[in-house]
Amino acid sequence: MSGSPADAGDAAGDAAEGGAVSMFAAASLVLALSGTLMGAATPTLAQSLAQSHAQAVPSGPPIRLFPPPERMGAPDAGPGAGRVLDDPLESPGPSAAPLPLTPLPTPAPAHTPSFDVVPTVAPPSAIAVETLGPLDPDGAGPLAGAAGLGGDPWRGIPRAELLALLPELPTLTPSPAVKELQRRLLLSRGSPAAAPGEPEPARRFGALRVEKLAAMGDPRGAADLAALLPEAMRTDEAAARALTDAELLAGPLDCAVATERAQPFSGPYWQGVALFCRLRAGRVGGGAPAEAGPMGDDLAFDMLREQPGGDPDFLRAAEAMAGGPAVRPRSLKDPSPLTLAALRTLQAGLPPDVLSLTDPARLAAVASNGGTDPATRVTAAERAAAALFLDSRRLAEAYRAAPAKGDELLRLKDAAARDRTARTRALVQQAMLAAMAGERRVELAGLALELLDPPMLAGPVGAVVADMLDTLSPTPDAAGLAPAAARLCFALGRADTGKRWYDLALRGRPTAEVARLWPLALIALGPPPGGGALGLAGWLDESLRGADLEARARVAGQLALLQAMGVAVPGEAWRRTTVSDDEAPMTADSRPAMADPALWQRLTEASADRRVGETALAALLLLGEAGPAGTPPAVVARVVGALRAVGLDNDARAIAREAAAALAG
């Protein structure tokens, strides 16, 4: 099973029957609510957006994102149909559990963005209700109660199912919201129950949690959890090695803890770790420790050299640590964590081809090696930061170290037009630090915002740019920056700063760029005093004026997120985003991406039964590596509604905020 929502697309699409239906028409049908029309009066956009940026309701039962199957073909004509709302943002009140949608038979047009339709499937037998046996003994965790996911997060999910799903959790997501929810899920105290007569699993619950935390770039959390689960760590070499590798890459390795962890195991890997620790202690203390003399080290070198499939790069670095010839590799395409840790200890420069690495943990180790040339370091640092393996402080340090050539800092606008690389973003930051004139600083901040790609907004790359914006005041001379600055700050969860830029954006002439901010501001800020009906209408008017198919699909996605956050979206709003078959002709070779049906069903059932851990697990798997910004809005909206239904309101808002920021561009 994959966390990607696209995994079940082909199978579900091949099983569909019937005539052609536009994907965009389907999007509106998927998300349509019955009943009510919007008020006819529409004020100017600036007035409406300033009056109302939000209307949220407290968390409660799961929010229906789809109409019942019998109402899929036409709008509701029951009581209240056609009634003009006094407040289109009023709460619709509690609703029944959300219903998945029967799959559509025909694909989305290739020239338009896919707005996912998720099939209904029968409840999988794997999650049938049954009496469970004793709890797993590996339920310790450093987070308990509200700090984690509550007192009994794994109620209702059999241990065997949980153990099968844990390895599928994402590790390289660019989403801080996803990573934080996953971290708390894995660190929470609580145990799944085994089925009666279930044999002991091949790998233990605690060891799998430690391994996943290490793989997702949280060695400190993994070590805290491992300290509570000594028995699981003594019997699972894969988890012990994953944690040790993560600590080697993050540095510095706690050699006393690593040596104790290695005791149950043997082999060249652990021999290499022991040798590294002895050599590092000798370098730090000015000589080898008493128990490790030259003969012991020579024997260790000999043993490692004789091992088949050894690590020659590490051996050369270790020899340099022992006093041998200095090492400066000319090629290093696949270095081990031990090799990178040894070269960092030596401050030995790494060659440019190390950037062929795709593992962000190893790229972060490259960035932290002060002997490597700054151009290589800054590229490695940004790629590691984009996957959340390096924080904004260390990324900013790498940016400042990248050298400028000649008058590059004076010609950044031309450079940015042809080169959107880490080095260009580094030069913009350096120029900003050196600039004194206010006009020049505004120009550079605008360049920095232009160079941000959507997946970078919510993470460390965006945070570095937001720190630059903090040196400016949201005054009229910076009004041109306001929409992009507000979008960035809201994406990062910096609500107060985002509101100042948002307010500045509303003072200017209404534009589509400003209009796209309204749903994001509503999600990020919550309801304003007094609420009101006019914000939704004004936003729709401006967003749909002259909108092409892609823009209308984006508006439908924004409506889905608003509804998931508790906003009452009237039927007229959905009808205005509908695209007919004539507008969106089908192509024979296109097919909509679909969420995994089994995961969708699991999310629906778990949230309805308020099974917190299982709901979070299914939500994380549905979002996958792409995170909220790269997942279809219909799927994100369902995830948000499910998380709110089980009381994870802050996580739901953070996920919705990241998705809304991507749609606001």
| Structure confidence by residue, pLDDT tens digits, 587-635 | 444 344 568 999 999 999 999 999 999 999 999 999 999 999 999 999 9
Q: Hey, which bits of 52-91 come out as E strands?
A: none
> Does the structure show a pLDDT above 80 at 76?
no
Residue 92 has a pLDDT of 36
Residue 72: is its pLDDT beyond 50?
no
* Start-to-end C-alpha separation, the chain: 32
SS3 of the chain: helix, strand, coil, percent, to 5: 55, 0, 45
* Residue 126 per-residue DSSP state: G
AA letter at 603:
L
Q: Dihedral of CA 340/343/349/350: which sign?
A: negative
Higher pLDDT, 454 or 298: 454
pLDDT beyond 50 at 508: yes
Residue 135 pairs with which residues in a beta bridge?
A: 193
Question: What does the block give as tokens for 2?
Answer: 């994959």
pLDDT given at position 593? 53
The letter for the amino acid at 338 is L
* Confidence (pLDDT) at 58: 39
**Between 537 and 40, the higher pLDDT residue:** 537
Measured distance CA(197)–CA(203) in Å, rounded: 17
Lowest mean pLDDT among 230-244, 526-540, 616-630: 526-540
Max Cα–Cα distance, the chain, nearest Å: 90
Is the pLDDT score of 105 beyond 60? no
**Between residues 662 and 52, which one has the greater pLDDT?**
662
Mean pLDDT value of segment 552-579: 91
Residue 268 to residue 56: CA distance in whole angstroms: 58
**How large is the average pLDDT for residues 437-451?**
93
Average pLDDT over residues 231-236: 95
d(CA 585, CA 111): 10
CB atoms within 10 A of CB 237: 17
Instruction: Give the 3-state secondary structure of residue 575.
Output: helix
**What average pLDDT score do residues 246-250 get?**
98
Kindly tell me if the per-residue pLDDT of 130 is higher than 80: no
167/230 Cα distance (integer angstroms): 21
Q: Could you count the other beta carbons within 10 Å of the beta carbon of residue 96? A: 11
Q: Which pLDDT score, from 0 to 100, does residue 17 have?
A: 37
User: Is the pLDDT assigned to residue 356 strictly greater than 60?
Assistant: yes
Please state whether the peptide bond connecting residue 252 to the residue before it is cis, i.e. omega within 30 degrees of 0.
yes
Of 459, 520, 460, whose CA–CA distance to 484 is shortest? 520
Q: How confident is the model at residue 582 (pLDDT cuts 50, 70, 90)?
A: low
Res 417: pLDDT: 83
Predicted local distance difference test score (pLDDT) of residue 35:
32
pTM above 0.85, yes or no: no
Q: Which residues pair with 37 in a beta bridge?
A: 84
pLDDT confidence tier of residue 578, bands split at 50, 70 and 90: confident
Measured from the Cβ of residue 588, the count of other Cβ atoms closer than 10 Å reads 8
Q: Is the pLDDT of residue 248 over 80?
A: yes
Higher pLDDT, 194 or 76: 194
Map out the domains of the chain as residue ranges: 1-126+475-665, 218-387, 392-458
CA-nearest of 57, 48, 92 to 536 is: 48
Q: How confident is the model at residue 562 (pLDDT cuts 50, 70, 90)?
A: very high
63's tokens? 């929010």
pLDDT, average across residues 31-53: 38
The answer to whether 492 and 462 are in contact (CB under 8 A) is yes
Give the pLDDT score at 583. 56
**Interatomic CA distance for residues 520 and 5, integer angstroms:** 23
Give the model's pLDDT for residue 210. Answer: 98
Q: What is the mean pLDDT of residues 470-493?
A: 95
CA separation for the pair 243, 220 (Å, rounded): 9
Residues 17 and 28: their CA atoms lie apart, in Å, by 20
Q: Is 494 exposed, middle or buried (0-12, 13-18, 19+ CB in 10 A)?
A: buried
- Mapping DSSP to helix (H, G, I), strand (E, B) and coil, where does residue 143 land? strand
Q: Average pLDDT, whole number, for the chain?
A: 80
Calculate the dihedral angle through the C-alpha atoms of 264, 265, 270, 273, rounding to the nearest 10 degrees.
-20
pLDDT score at 304: 83
Tell me: pLDDT of 110 over 80: no
The pLDDT score that the predictor gives to residue 419 is 87
* 417 or 149, greater pLDDT: 149
Query: Quick one: which H or E segment has residue 487?
Result: helix 482-491
Distance CA 182, CA 213 (A): 9
What pLDDT shows up at residue 80?
Answer: 37
85 pLDDT more than 50: no
